[in-house]
């Protein structure tokens, strides 16, 4: 059995869906569970619908019509029956919006999950319909029925025991009549039947959960890059393919912001010693990168850049020590607002936080709340540079012309927060 995951770039249009189908056909005769993301950039589009409609929820259906048409246009290019597909899209919209209509009050995060989850439902219906048109033995599986989470909307916490039982039972049932099971990344469901999401870019995590539940030997994630590289090729000219990575090395890279795989992906596969292979859908014959318990004996410097980070310098108002009570107060507020922490450092009377990926409105509320007890200085628009297995000479060349506002060294990992008009190029 194989578990494959195809991200948004792999199904972004008709040509890419055809390519994805050709990869699956190369493994015909083998049982496959295929996890599919929303079509490229579609999650952003569904999030825009959510933003426009969160204060005017009755208008959400009309706002979604444009995105329905975009998917149907791709279906036409693939020669897929659009009337049937349209009916399925309308049913998914009705089912998700029915949850909203039958509640007196709806939390913003719950509404987000009902809208944004449609991206994965739409894309998998489209890919499923196309594979059926090729006479492939394929079935569509609703991830919400088998991947059980709690009711933490926008970042559901997975119940591995219940999910594993449900996934194994459903896949075994479906394999009686097919060899390929298509399902959604990013989404799950509560015991009450509510749709949840697993956090942005969570489809990799879904694939890892499927691999964990089914006990496969290897999980393959298909990307638009040849594997995991030593740096982002859009920013640096000389990059190197890492043929092997240890679980620890991979999780460290993702913690500091590497975008190739989702940070939560490693834990489930490491627990069962499942290999993770990252390959290019542009070059399916390439070896890619294998993540396992072994890794490499020696690694070259690995560079990770995070854009738009925010530096918060927090201090007591009366020159008193930053105590455990202060820290507890700060972290409690961070948990409430789901603020992602990069790195931190504290001294006697100050505490420095590097904040990643925060909404401007959330930041304002957070700062206002902690300002009741502490003073806060904000510096935004910064870059966080992390170099694993750093070499002194290489580090110097990376920070030329840049002001270092924060620096931390841990073993052979150096993290710096930089301010400069000389941004790392895209």
What are φ and ψ of residue 74, in 5° steps?
-65, -40
Of residues 124 and 346, more confidently modeled: 124
Residue 322 has what pLDDT?
Answer: 87
Confidence check: pLDDT of 371 > 80: yes
Confidence check: pLDDT of 373 > 70: yes
Average pLDDT over residues 396-423: 88
What are φ and ψ of residue 374, in 5° steps?
-135, 160
CATH 3.40.1160.10 in the chain: give the residue spans: 2-216
Q: Are 128 and 73 in contact (CB under 8 A)?
A: no
CATH 3.30.2130.10 in the chain: give the residue spans: 302-419
Q: Which residues pair with 376 in a beta bridge?
A: 314
Average pLDDT over residues 370-374: 93
Residue 358 has what pLDDT?
Answer: 85
Whole-number Cα distances in Å, 28 to 36, 308, 398: 18, 44, 47
**169-181 confidence digits (pLDDT tens):** 999 999 999 999 9
Whole-number Cα distances in Å, 329 to 94, 336, 350, 360: 42, 11, 14, 21
% the chain with pLDDT above 70: 98
**201-244 confidence digits (pLDDT tens):** 899 999 999 999 999 999 999 999 999 999 998 889 889 999 99
**311-342 confidence digits (pLDDT tens):** 999 998 888 888 899 999 999 999 999 898 88
Q: Distance between CA 124 and CA 64 in Å, rounded?
A: 17
Confidence check: pLDDT of 22 > 70: yes
Residue 319 has what pLDDT?
Answer: 85
Longest distance between any two alpha carbons in the chain, whole Å: 73
The 3-state secondary structure of 276-304 reads EEEEECCCCCCCCEEEECCCCCCCCCEEE
Q: Which residues pair with 151 in a beta bridge?
A: none
Looking at domain 2-216, its CATH architecture is 3-Layer(aba) Sandwich (3.40)
**154-163 confidence digits (pLDDT tens):** 999 999 999 9
Least confident segment among 91-95, 143-147, 233-237, 283-287: 233-237
Indicate the pLDDT class of residue 297, thresholds 50, 70 and 90. confident
Q: What percent of the chain is helix, strand and coil (3-state, nearest 5)?
A: 40, 25, 35
Mean pLDDT of the chain: 93
Residue 295 has what pLDDT?
Answer: 87
Q: Distance between CA 223 and CA 9 in Å, rounded?
A: 7
Residue 58 has what pLDDT?
Answer: 78
Average pLDDT over residues 367-387: 94
Q: Distance between CA 142 and CA 159 in Å, rounded?
A: 17
Average pLDDT over residues 72-77: 98
Average pLDDT over residues 257-274: 91
Confidence check: pLDDT of 296 > 90: no
Q: Which long-range contacts (CB under 8 A, 24 or more apart) does 165-173 make?
A: 167/209, 167/210, 167/213, 167/214, 168/213, 168/214, 170/141, 170/145, 170/146, 171/33, 171/141, 171/214
Q: What is the CA radius of gyration of the chain?
A: 23
Confidence check: pLDDT of 105 > 70: no
Tally the C-alpha atoms within 13 A of residue 410's C-alpha that lie toward its C-beta: 9
Domain 302-419 listed as CATH 3.30.2130.10: yes
Average pLDDT over residues 99-120: 86
Confidence check: pLDDT of 394 > 80: yes
Indicate the pLDDT class of residue 102, thresholds 50, 70 and 90. low
Kindly give, in sequence order, each residue whose CB lies less than 8 Å from that of residue 148, ignoring residues fewer than 6 positions away. Answer: 158, 159, 162, 163, 166, 188, 189, 190, 191
Residue 426 has what pLDDT?
Answer: 56
């Amino acid at each position: 059995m194989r578990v494959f995951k195809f991200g948004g770039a792999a199904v972004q249009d008709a040509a890419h869906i055809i390519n994805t189908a050709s990869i699956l056909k190369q493994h015909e005769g083998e049982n496959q569970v295929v996890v599919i993301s929303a079509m490229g950039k579609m999650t952003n589009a569904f999030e825009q619908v959510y933003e426009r409609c969160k204060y005017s929820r009755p208008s959400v259906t009309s706002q979604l019509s444009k995105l329905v048409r975009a998917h149907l246009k791709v279906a036409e290019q693939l020669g897929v029956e659009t009337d049937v597909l349209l009916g399925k899209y309308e049913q998914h919209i009705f089912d998700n919006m029915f949850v909203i209509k039958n509640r007196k009050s709806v939390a913003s995060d719950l509404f987000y999950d009902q809208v944004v989850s449609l991206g994965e439902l739409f894309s998998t219906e489209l890919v499923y319909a196309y594979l059926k048109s090729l006479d492939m033995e394929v079935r569509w599986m609703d991830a919400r029925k088998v991947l059980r989470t709690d009711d933490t909307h926008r970042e559901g916490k997975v119940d591995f025991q219940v999910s594993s039982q449900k996934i194994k039972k459903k896949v075994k049932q479906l394999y009686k009549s097919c060899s390929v099971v298509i399902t959604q990344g990013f989404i799950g469901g509560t015991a009450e039947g509510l749709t949840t999401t697993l956090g942005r870019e969570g489809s990799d995590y879904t694939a890892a959960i499927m691999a964990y539940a089914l006990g496969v030997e290897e999980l393959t994630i298909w990307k638009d890059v040849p594997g995991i590289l030593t740096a982002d090729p859009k920013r640096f000219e000389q990059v190197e393919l890492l043929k092997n990575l240890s679980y620890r090395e991979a999780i460290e890279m993702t913690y500091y912001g590497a975008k190739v795989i989702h940070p939560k992906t490693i834990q489930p596969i490491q627990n069962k010693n499942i290999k993770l292979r990252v390959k290019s859908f542009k070059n399916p014959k390439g070896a890619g990168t294998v993540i396992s318990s072994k890794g490499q004996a020696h690694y070259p410097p690995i560079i990770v850049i995070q854009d738009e980070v925010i530096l918060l310098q927090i201090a007591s108002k009366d020159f008193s020590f930053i105590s455990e009570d202060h820290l507890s107060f700060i972290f409690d507020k961070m948990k409430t607002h789901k603020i992602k922490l990069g790195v931190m450092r504290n001294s006697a009377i100050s505490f420095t936080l590097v904040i990643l990926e925060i909404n401007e409105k959330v930041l304002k509320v957070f700062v206002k709340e902690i300002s009741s007890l502490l003073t806060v200085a904000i510096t935004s628009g910064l870059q966080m540079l992390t170099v694993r297995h750093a070499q002194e000479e290489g580090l110097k060349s990376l920070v030329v012309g840049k002001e270092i506002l924060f620096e931390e060294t841990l073993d052979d990992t150096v993290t710096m927060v930089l301010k400069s008009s000389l941004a790392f190029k895209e």
